[in-house]
Amino acid sequence: MTSESAALYVVPTPLGNLSDITRRAEEVLRTVPWVAAEDTRHTAPLLKHLGATARLLPAHEHNEREAAARIVERLCAGEAVALVSDAGTPAISDPGTRIVAQVRAAGFRVIPLPGPCAAVTALSAAGLPEPHFLFYGFLPTKASQRRQALEELRPLPYALVFYEAPHRVLETVDDLTAVLGHRTLVIARELTKLFETVYACPLGEAAAWLRADPNRQKGEFVLLVSGNQEEGDQGESDRVLKILLAEGLPVKQAAKVAAAVTGAAKNALYDRALQLKG
Ligand code: SAM
């Protein structure tokens, strides 16, 4: 038997394609006596499909504290509980964070299962060059707050990963373009479903692409934006400048050679070389 008594299992469920449930997730959902679900009406058909007979407990964003207390009661009674959200991994832009914290604070084990997550699925097909990413989830819905949040993200060299609802995707892409400027955008839509689309383009062309066909604005979206390159470029020219200066080249000559190697502007490199030397 997979499920150990008196533990909370965090169980990812499919994003769309039912075959994406893992064998371990199936086993846990079939074995535990209780499933805490974001929307019990949504999860009931999945349990039925799996032949699972667990009883359902509601655990949504408006009752997380009470749900956690009920889950801890079940655990105190020696019963295992599985936590699921409507789709993907619980606690990732979904209810669950408070529940796992309260369960652990009560001294019980929280056992996470790996499985579907829209952000990671999208990243795996995005082909963005950055070795690091920042998962942001949903941006604020108010335009001014959204732009402010994007201003704060703008200097970061990491790929940025956002979730967005279909009715806001166009305005968000407009704001991404206005604030972040020249970047690559990858639109990952309806992952694992019939109309799955992964489309990459310059950020400045994305709004026109979405507007060209209203169907392109339908469904569920992950938006991925390449990171700020300026930091990276400066890192490379700094590296070259430092080597040349360490070899004893005068500032002017170091800037000239570094400009030839990196393609950066000679004047900017001259100023930077003076700084580095200073
Ligand atoms: N916990 C989930 C996860 O692990 O990905 C995310 C839940 S969040 C409430 C729902 C958002 O995830 C959607 O608005 C969309 O941005 C993204 N999403 C979920 N399923 C998706 C799919 N099949 N294709 C693209 N994005 C998806």
The CA angle 35-20-190, to the nearest 5 degrees, is: 105
Distance 190 CA to ligand 1 centre (A): 9
Distances (CA, A) of 75 to 23, 28, 104, 197: 24, 15, 11, 42
Q: Distance (Å, rounded) from C-alpha 143 to C-alpha 141?
A: 6
Residue 162 CB less than 6 A away from ligand 1:
no
Pocket test for ligand 1, best of 222, 223, 224 (most atoms within 8 A of CB): 222
Of the residues 225, 252, 268, the one at which a domain ends: 225
Q: Distance (Å, rounded) from C-alpha 34 to C-alpha 61?
A: 19
Q: Distance (Å, rounded) from C-alpha 89 to C-alpha 15?
A: 9
Q: Is residue 2 part of a domain?
A: no
Pocket test for ligand 1, best of 163, 189, 217 (most atoms within 8 A of CB): 163
Distance 111 CA to ligand 1 centre (A): 22
Same domain, 102 and 130: no
Same domain, 125 and 110: no
Q: Please give the model's pTM, rounded to 2 decimal places.
A: 0.84
**pLDDT beyond 50 at 135:** yes
Same domain, 187 and 250: no
Give how many domains the chain has, as a whole number.
3
Contact indicator for 200, 223 with CB cutoff of 8 Å:
no
DSSP conformation class of 113:
P
Domain extent, residue 190, equals: 119-225
Q: Is residue 13 part of a domain?
A: yes
Closest atom, ligand 1, to C-alpha of 16:
23
Contact indicator for 10, 111 with CB cutoff of 8 Å:
yes
pLDDT given for residue 1 in this prediction: 43
Of the residues 225, 241, 267, the one at which a domain ends: 225
Q: What is the pLDDT of residues 169-224, one digit of tens each?
A: 999 999 999 999 899 999 999 999 999 999 999 999 999 999 999 999 999 999 99
φ, ψ dihedrals at 227, nearest 5°:
-75, 170
Q: Is residue 139 part of a domain?
A: yes
Question: CATH number of the domain that 219 lies in?
Answer: 3.30.950.10
